[in-house]
């Protein structure tokens, strides 16, 4: 019987801790005897290491030790890690593959001493030809890795091959219908190239990990989104049983994908074991830029259309700039790759999607997991097509969008994916058919819409435990990491709903792999659905055990207020514990290697729509978003207020990635790795009018009808803005970011 815990805007459990500055972050943590590490990094993009001179650094007073890759190799014979390929050395071995790659590390009691000593390390390299661009990487003679070693960790990446002499880490292909014939028969064929730039997540809590060697094992306190993976990967590297590695994660000062899989943990683990001391590595903001980025991409999209605007064929070639180490890039390439044709019903489709190695900092997951790059291209192109054919931009989408009964390109049906409803809602909120003031003089106005969709990561597993103490109080143990998305609060609401208690009374145990059970990771908007089900199952298991206990002690039933009396009746005192456990793994059918088809590629789809109104200064190219509308299909919200902050937060972050952020690279060197020159949105960059809209839908197989929302509002921002700008000033931007100078140049070219 519903008791109103789910669907209620429960304030975050950690509210008081966060506003007082007392919330626990790894950043705050120190332990007795701890040494601080500072990383010495490569200054060349691709080179063979000839020598590393650490003598001056070692001689500096206060320096405990200086270690290089060769020291790591004495502890771990094959010190390479990664979720898709075991390609990333703990410290560079033999070669360096990007500017900023860790080459050596200094340990000292005083972090300033470690930093000063790191400046006294000198390395000599034989420089090798480097490859920077993703297109160039397809054919380049410069090969980043001589040999590729697939990790074989995840079922969806089991097909990865070991390859030689190529920069292609993964290629994904899909073919449906007869695209060649359809293009030949089409009334119009459009071909475009859209590009996105490298950007960084810049969580305000820079990456930080602390490893403490303990008798027979190791505890790693780390700002990670994936404690279970850190545990298994560090154990694998060390050749240990998993239970010797304990990974603890308190709150995260932002993640956005930057803190996934394994980042600093392998290094701190190895150094702690070699030095037999606790060691902590706290990156600076600058160093984050050398650690993980978002894939730059090139998307060549070719579309055949009949004269009414119906899309008949589409060819998608997507090239992902993965940087020097694959990280999770292959999964981005595949999972996002199969949605490249967009949420459109197209009979004839071909997709090629390539994860490419280059000599840039590694690229990995970033809020949206590749989807914003794709939506940028397919939603921009459909606007071009509408303009060319003289069709309304909403009408052409309406004509082509998938229905919920239609199969997506892979063959998986669009169950509970209300793409059309999202579009109609955006259009209604914008009063699309109403009059619109397009401005005058040097200020011109425009508006645009865009709709995108995403599959969840599959197949993945979540496990949760719900513990009921003898006084009736409940704890939830799970390895979902609360990095600001409010997962601890939302999942406590599920426990409360099932057990008939208040969400505020459920304690949530932060991830600690000795205590909290396995979870694949906190990523890709998967937690609400996957962990939500696991938590529901765990709570239901606890409830069943409480039912049994009630039976044992001769009660007809129980409620949230009478739990303690059951224990008292059974054990004669306040004693005993009930533990409910839940494991959830959705079904999955892996794509056919020949066709790329699968009728069950994802447990659920997420749909996001964006509407933007913009003002452009025609003399300077400065664009200002005056209204930003985000419509999210997220099922029934577990906590509407938190969901709203996720919608506007995701959209506004994407505004930054669309208009401001751009990692500048010069010969592989990031030249703006600081907030002085890498600008993220501040208060003045935020549109004055922001509308969040939760589409009234239900994910029928989701926990209490819910599904994830962390990425939904990011999808459509860039193309909706480009569309609005096009209406305002008649120019079409095809590469991100959309800067004033770029717009000004395009306007000049147009008038010339």
Partner 1 sequence: MESNAMEIGRKRMAFTLNGRAVEADVPSYWNLVDLLRDFDLFGARESCGIGACGCCTVLVDGTAMSGCLTLAQTVEGKAVTTVEDQDRDGTLSVVQQAFVDEAAFQCGFCTPGFVMMVGELLKENPEPSDDEVRSYLSGNLCRCATYPEILKAVRVAASRLRG
Partner 2 sequence: MRGVEILRPGSFAEALDLLAGGDPETRPMSGGTALILMMKTGVFQPERLVSLDGVEPDYGAITVTQDGGLHIGALATLSALGRHPEVARLTPIIHRAMPHLSNVRVRNVACVGGALAHGDPHMDLPPILAALGADVEIASAKGARSVPVEQFIRGYYETVLEPGELISGVSIPPQTGWVSGYRKCTTRAVDDWPALGIAVALSMRAGAVARARVVVSAATEKLTRVGEAEAVLLDGPLRPERIAEAAEAAAGAVETMDDALGSAGYKTQLLRVHLRRLLTDIAGGESAT
Binding site for partner 2 (CB under 8 A): 112, 115-116, 119, 619-620, 622, 660, 664, 671-672, 676-677, 679-682, 684-685, 739-741, 744-745
Which CB contacts under 8 angstroms, 24+ apart, belong to 544-549?
544/580, 545/468, 545/578, 545/579, 545/580, 546/468, 546/499, 546/578, 549/578
User: Other CB atoms closer than 10 Å to residue 20's CB: what's the count?
Assistant: 8
- CA separation (Å) from 465 to 3, 576, 656? 21, 16, 39
- Site size for partner 1, by CB under 8 A? 63
Calpha distance 97→324 (Å, rounded): 6
Under 8 Å between Cβ of 159 and 594: no
Distance of closest approach, residue 139 Cβ to partner 1, in angstroms: 37
Which of 53, 70, 78, 110 is the binder for partner 1 (CB under 8 A)? 110
- Residue with Cβ nearer partner 2 (172 or 744): 744
Interacting partner of 376 out of partner 1, partner 2, none (Cβ under 5 to 8 A depending on kind): none
Beta strands 439-440 and 443-455 are: antiparallel
Calpha distance 252→483 (Å, rounded): 4
Interacting partner of 20 out of partner 1, partner 2, none (Cβ under 5 to 8 A depending on kind): partner 1
- Residue with Cβ nearer partner 1 (87 or 661): 661
- Residue with Cβ nearer partner 1 (571 or 675): 675
Under 8 Å between Cβ of 195 and 298: yes
32 near partner 1, rule: CB under 8 A: no
Interacting partner of 741 out of partner 2, partner 1, none (Cβ under 5 to 8 A depending on kind): partner 2
660 near partner 1, rule: CB under 8 A: no
The three-point CA angle 409-411-417 to 5° equals: 80
Q: Which of 354, 296, 300, 355 is nearest to 325 (CA)?
A: 355
593 near partner 1, rule: CB under 8 A: no
The three-point CA angle 148-154-156 to 5° equals: 95
Q: Which of 164, 149, 156 is nearest to 87 (CA)?
A: 149
696: which residues sit within 8 A by CB, 6+ positions away?
A: none
Distance of closest approach, residue 160 Cβ to partner 2, in angstroms: 38
254 near partner 1, rule: CB under 8 A: yes
CA 257 to chain CA centroid, Å, is 4
Interacting partner of 484 out of partner 1, partner 2, none (Cβ under 5 to 8 A depending on kind): partner 1
Interacting partner of 27 out of partner 2, partner 1, none (Cβ under 5 to 8 A depending on kind): partner 1
Which of 129, 551, 595, 675 is the binder for partner 1 (CB under 8 A)? 675
Distance of closest approach, residue 116 Cβ to partner 2, in angstroms: 6
Q: Which of 158, 138, 163, 146 is nearest to 83 (CA)?
A: 158
Distance of closest approach, residue 748 Cβ to partner 2, in angstroms: 9
Residue with tokens 């803005």: 721
Interacting partner of 536 out of partner 1, partner 2, none (Cβ under 5 to 8 A depending on kind): none
Distance of closest approach, residue 738 Cβ to partner 2, in angstroms: 12
- Residue with Cβ nearer partner 1 (235 or 652): 652
Interacting partner of 664 out of partner 1, partner 2, none (Cβ under 5 to 8 A depending on kind): partner 2
Calpha distance 633→607 (Å, rounded): 5
571 near partner 1, rule: CB under 8 A: no
Which of 17, 94, 514, 559 is the binder for partner 1 (CB under 8 A)? 17
Handedness of CA 486, 263, 652, 702 (dihedral sign): negative
626 near partner 1, rule: CB under 8 A: no
Q: Is 495 helix (H, G, I), strand (E, B) or coil?
A: helix
Which residues inside 481-500 make contact with partner 1, applying CB under 8 A? 483-486
- Residue with Cβ nearer partner 2 (576 or 737): 737
Half-sphere exposure of 659 (CA within 13 A, CB side): 25
8 near partner 1, rule: CB under 8 A: no
Which of these segments, 59-67, 153-161, 449-457, 501-509, binds partner 1 (CB under 8 A)? 59-67
Interacting partner of 620 out of partner 1, partner 2, none (Cβ under 5 to 8 A depending on kind): partner 2
Residue with tokens 């290089």: 68
Interacting partner of 552 out of partner 1, partner 2, none (Cβ under 5 to 8 A depending on kind): none
Interacting partner of 677 out of partner 2, partner 1, none (Cβ under 5 to 8 A depending on kind): partner 2
34 near partner 1, rule: CB under 8 A: no
- CA separation (Å) from 751 to 293, 439, 724? 37, 19, 19
429 near partner 1, rule: CB under 8 A: no
Calpha distance 227→519 (Å, rounded): 8
Which residues inside 274-293 make contact with partner 1, applying CB under 8 A? 284-286
Which of these segments, 171-179, 310-318, 478-486, 587-595, binds partner 1 (CB under 8 A)? 478-486
Torsion, CA 709, CA 711, CA 715, CA 718, rounded to 10: 130
Which of 562, 645, 669, 734 is the binder for partner 1 (CB under 8 A)? 645
Interacting partner of 21 out of partner 1, partner 2, none (Cβ under 5 to 8 A depending on kind): partner 1
Under 8 Å between Cβ of 710 and 525: yes
Distance of closest approach, residue 430 Cβ to partner 1, in angstroms: 19
511: which residues sit within 8 A by CB, 6+ positions away?
A: 227, 247, 248, 249, 478, 479, 480, 481, 519
Under 8 Å between Cβ of 265 and 230: yes
Q: What is the CA radius of gyration of the chain?
A: 26
Which of 690, 701, 730, 735 is the binder for partner 1 (CB under 8 A)? 690
- Residue with Cβ nearer partner 2 (76 or 673): 673
- Tell me the angle at which helices 227-238 and 265-275 cross, rounded to the nearest 10 degrees: 50
Distance of closest approach, residue 112 Cβ to partner 2, in angstroms: 6
- Residue with Cβ nearer partner 1 (89 or 257): 257
- Which one-letter DSSP state was computed for residue 335? I
CB-count burial class (<10 Å; 0-12, 13-18, 19+) for 109: middle
Distance of closest approach, residue 287 Cβ to partner 2, in angstroms: 13
Calpha distance 431→429 (Å, rounded): 6
Distance of closest approach, residue 28 Cβ to partner 1, in angstroms: 4
551 near partner 1, rule: CB under 8 A: no
Beta strands 689-694 and 623-633 are: parallel
- Residue with Cβ nearer partner 2 (118 or 481): 118
202 near partner 1, rule: CB under 8 A: yes
Which of these segments, 238-246, 514-522, 597-605, 680-688, binds partner 1 (CB under 8 A)? 680-688
Q: Which of 620, 628, 582, 614 is nearest to 739 (CA)?
A: 620
Which residues inside 112-151 make contact with partner 1, applying CB under 8 A? 112-113, 116, 120
Distance of closest approach, residue 290 Cβ to partner 2, in angstroms: 15
Half-sphere exposure of 258 (CA within 13 A, CB side): 28
Q: Which of 501, 507, 498 is nearest to 562 (CA)?
A: 501
Distance of closest approach, residue 286 Cβ to partner 2, in angstroms: 9
Distance of closest approach, residue 361 Cβ to partner 2, in angstroms: 18
250 near partner 1, rule: CB under 8 A: no
- Tell me the angle at which helices 740-751 and 717-729 cross, rounded to the nearest 10 degrees: 40
Distance of closest approach, residue 740 Cβ to partner 2, in angstroms: 5
Q: Is 20 helix (H, G, I), strand (E, B) or coil?
A: helix
Rule CB under 8 A: which residues touch partner 1?
Answer: 9, 11-12, 14-23, 25, 27-28, 60-62, 110, 112-113, 116, 120, 201-206, 251-256, 284-286, 483-486, 641-642, 645, 648-649, 651-653, 656, 674-676, 680-684, 686, 688, 690
């Amino acid at each position: 019987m519903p008791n109103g815990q789910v669907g209620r805007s429960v304030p975050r459990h950690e509210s008081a801790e966060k506003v007082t500055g007392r919330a626990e972050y790894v950043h705050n943590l120190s332990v007795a005897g701890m040494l601080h590490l500072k990383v010495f990094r490569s200054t060349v993009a691709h080179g063979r290491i000839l020598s590393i001179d650490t003598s001056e650094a070692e001689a500096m007073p206060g320096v405990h030790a200086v270690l290089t890759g060769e020291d790591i190799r004495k502890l771990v014979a094959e010190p390479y890690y990664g979720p898709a390929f075991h390609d990333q050395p703990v410290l560079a071995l033999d070669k360096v593959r990007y500017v900023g790659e860790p080459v050596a590390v200094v340990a000292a009691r005083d972090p300033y001493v470690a930093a000063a000593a790191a400046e006294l390390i000198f390395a000599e390299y034989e420089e090798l030809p480097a490859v920077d661009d993703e297109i160039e990487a397809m054919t380049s003679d410069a090969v980043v890795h001589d040999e590729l070693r697939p990790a074989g960790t995840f079922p969806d990446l089991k097909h990865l091959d070991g390859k030689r002499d190529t920069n292609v880490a993964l290629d994904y292909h899909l073919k449906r219908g007869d695209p060649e014939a359809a293009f030949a028969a089409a009334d119009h064929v459009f071909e475009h190239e859209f590009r996105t730039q490298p950007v960084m997540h810049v969580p305000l809590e820079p990456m930080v990990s602390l490893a403490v060697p303990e008798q027979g094992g190791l505890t790693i306190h780390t700002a990670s989104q994936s404690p279970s993976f850190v545990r298994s990967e560090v154990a694998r590297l060390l050749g240990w049983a998993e239970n010797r590695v304990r990974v603890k994660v308190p709150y995260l000062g932002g993640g956005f994908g930057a803190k996934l899989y394994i980042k600093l943990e392998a290094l701190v683990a190895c150094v702690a074991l070699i030095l037999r001391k606790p060691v902590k590595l706290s990156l600076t903001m600058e160093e984050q830029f050398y650690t993980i980025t978002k894939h730059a991409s090139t998307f060549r999209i070719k579309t055949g259309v009949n004269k009414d605007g119906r899309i008949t064929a589409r060819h998608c070639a997507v090239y992902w700039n993965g940087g020097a180490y694959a990280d999770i890039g292959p999964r981005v390439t595949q999972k996002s790759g199969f949605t490249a044709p967009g949420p459109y019903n197209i009979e004839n489709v071909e997709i090629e999607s390539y994860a490419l190695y280059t000599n840039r900092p590694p690229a990995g997951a970033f809020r949206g997991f590749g989807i914003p790059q794709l939506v940028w291209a397919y939603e921009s192109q459909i606007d071009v097509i509408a303009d060319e054919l003289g069709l309304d931009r909403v009408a052409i989408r309406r004509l082509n969008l998938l229905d919920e009964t239609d199969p997506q390109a892979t063959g998986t049906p669009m169950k509970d994916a209300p793409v059309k409803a999202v579009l109609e809602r955006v259009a209604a909120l914008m009063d699309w058919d109403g009059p619109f003031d397009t401005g005058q003089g040097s200020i011109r106005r425009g508006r645009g819409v865009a709709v995108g969709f995403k599959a969840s990561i599959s197949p993945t597993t979540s496990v949760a435990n719900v513990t009921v103490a003898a006084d009736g109080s409940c704890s939830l143990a799970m390895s979902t990491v609360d990095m600001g998305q409010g997962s601890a609060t939302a999942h406590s609401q599920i426990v409360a709903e099932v057990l008939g208690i208040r969400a505020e009374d459920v304690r949530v145990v932060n991830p600690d792999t000795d205590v909290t059970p396995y979870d694949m990771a906190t990523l890709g908007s998967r937690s609400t659905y996957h962990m939500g089900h696991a938590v529901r199952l765990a709570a239901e298991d606890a409830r069943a055990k409480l039912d049994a206990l009630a039976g044992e002690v001769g009660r007809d039933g129980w409620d949230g207020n009478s739990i303690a009396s059951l224990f008292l009746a059974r054990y004669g005192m306040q004693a005993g514990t009930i533990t409910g456990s839940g494991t959830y793994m959705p079904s999955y059918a892996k794509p056919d290697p020949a066709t790329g088809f699968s009728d069950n590629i994802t447990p659920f789809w997420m749909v996001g729509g964006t509407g933007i109104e913009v003002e452009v200064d025609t003399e300077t190219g400065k664009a200002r978003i005056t209204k930003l509308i985000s419509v999210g299909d997220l099922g029934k919200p577990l906590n509407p207020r938190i969901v709203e902050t996720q919608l506007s937060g995701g959209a506004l972050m994407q505004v930054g990635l669309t208009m401001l952020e751009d990692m500048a690279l010069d010969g592989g060197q990031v030249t703006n790795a600081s907030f002085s020159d890498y600008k993220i949105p501040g208060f003045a960059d935020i549109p004055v009018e922001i509308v969040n809209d939760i589409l009234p839908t239900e994910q029928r197989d989701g926990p209490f009808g819910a599904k994830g929302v962390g990425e939904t509002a990011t999808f459509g921002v860039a193309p909706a803005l480009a569309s609005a700008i096009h209406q305002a000033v008649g120019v079409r931007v095809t590469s991100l970011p959309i800067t004033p100078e770029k717009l000004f140049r395009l306007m000049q070219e147009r008038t010339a």
